[in-house]
Amino acid sequence: MNRKLQVIDRPGPEEYSATLSVQTNLLEAKVQDPELADVLILVEHDEVYTVGRSVPVQEVALALPKPARWIEVGRGGEATFHGPGQLVAYPIFDLTRHGKDVHVYLRGLERAGIRCLARLGVKADVRNGLTGIWVQTPGSWKKIASIGIGVRRWVSATVSP
């Protein structure tokens, strides 16, 4: 079994639709051939909101600032802003290799993000009952990383199945 990780670093900013196309193609390939390596796409996007399955479509136009470009995606979660200066990571992993437990996988992504931030000198943590990675500021906690995942046939991706 191939346990290597292929990292795809796409120079940005890039239109979300271009990255979505790459994710869709990689997801389909991994579903067809489970022996393919796990893939991590790193990219910076042009300004766009991605809207997960937790937000009813009719509420999107009312909730986002005007004018706003938004795209429905097949991940969990609500609306997330992506824009220049933000690094976005899209793991396309075969979860049969990583425990076949979506919650364990999600918490593993949080831990990996916390370790990456620590290497940059940023002290971050998780918050009980909340998804994502947080930093403490005077008087409050601020989210530094959002995490939303989708799974199709035990392959993770943020595209619509």
Q: How far apart are CA 145 and CA 131, in angstroms?
A: 9
Of the CATH numbers 3.30.930.10, 3.10.20.600, 3.30.465.10, 3.40.50.10070, which one belongs to the domain with range 5-157? 3.30.930.10
Could you report the per-residue pLDDT of 48-61, keeping only the tens digit for each? Answer: 888 877 777 667 66
Q: Where are the domains of the chain?
A: 5-157
pLDDT in tens, 2-61: 568 999 998 878 998 899 899 999 999 998 998 899 999 999 998 888 887 777 766 766
The pTM assigned to this predicted structure is: 0.81
For residues 114, 92, 131, 73, the Cα torsion angle rounded to the nearest 10 degrees is 140
pLDDT at 61: 62
